[in-house]
Amino acid sequence: MNTPNFGYQWQTGARGVDQAVFDEGLRKHMLRVYNYMALGLVITGAVAFIVGTTPALYVPIFSTPLKWVVMLAPLAFVLFFSFRIQAMSAGTAQMMFWAFCAVMGLSMASIFLVFTGTSIARTFFIAATMFGATSLYGYTTKRDLSKFGSFLIMGLIGVVIASVVNIFLGSSMLQFIVSVVGILVFVGLTAWDTQSIKEQYADNFDAESQQKLAVFGALSLYLNFVNIFQLLLNLTGERE
């Protein structure tokens, strides 16, 4: 007569409970990341719309050298985040993220001076669809995407360099190539970053660390979405 292995069954049940707790914590963590990102996009969109449709605000900015400060400020924020987030409290990191989103909105206000409102709205929904599908893939796939990271980073560096060069060349063909390659790079980064955010989560992190991880994850996905949107707009947007 076989004796039931009660010890094995108890261990299996314990692992099942632990896994269920971990999965629930991971789900809440990812939801927090997406909520932060979505609210950040709302802030960016609101600031961009208000500034871009109010002459009293956009004329003093975009008709003077101040436009260069506005355009470069988001880069300064990203660099500050990258080097200082570990030393920040969770509350400070969150406030810096909201401030960054507002500054990005100020920087993007010029799109309302260049493109029609219809093409901006259309491009936003296309970008949202692309981002959502790719992020979902990154979250659900069992394939290890980390091996593509180095290629995506090299592609990103190439896009940045080509964009800077084209500021002086003004080549429409180079702009087209940069837009197409850039969209592919940021779509790939969306999947890669989503999987990385998922894998970095750990249920033994304290609440402070988890919140900072959520803020930094939201920043990564936010940047991917904004770049996809801007590159798509440059590629397909209807100009005023």
Q: Is residue 175 part of a domain?
A: yes
48: nearest Cα among 4, 98, 113, 3: 113
Q: What are phi and psi of 80, to 5 degrees?
A: -65, -45
For residue 2, being part of any structural domain is answered with: no
Instruction: Give 197-226 pLDDT, tens digit per residue.
Output: 998 887 667 778 888 889 999 999 999 999
Q: What is the largest CA-CA distance in the chain?
A: 89
Q: Report helix angle 6-52 to 172-200, nearest 10.
A: 150
Q: Do 211 and 90 contact (CB within 8 A), yes or no?
A: yes
- Domain of 67 in residue numbering reads as 8-236
Q: Give the chain's radius of gyration (CA, Å).
A: 21
pLDDT per position as a tens digit, 160-204:
888 878 777 777 888 888 888 889 999 999 999 999 999 888 766
Would you say residue 1 lies in a domain?
Answer: no
Does residue 56 sit in helix, strand or coil? helix
Q: Which of 44-53, 125-134, 208-217 bottoms out in mean pLDDT, i.e. has the lowest?
A: 208-217
| Any domain includes 82 | yes
In a domain, 3, yes or no: no
Name the one residue in this structure whose structure tokens are 């802030």: 43
Decide if 58 is inside a domain: yes
Phi and psi at residue 149, in whole multiples of 5°?
Answer: -60, -45
Query: Is 178 a domain residue?
Result: yes
| Total count of domains within the chain | 1
Name the residue among 139, 184, 125 with its Cα closest to residue 34.
139
In a domain, 230, yes or no: yes
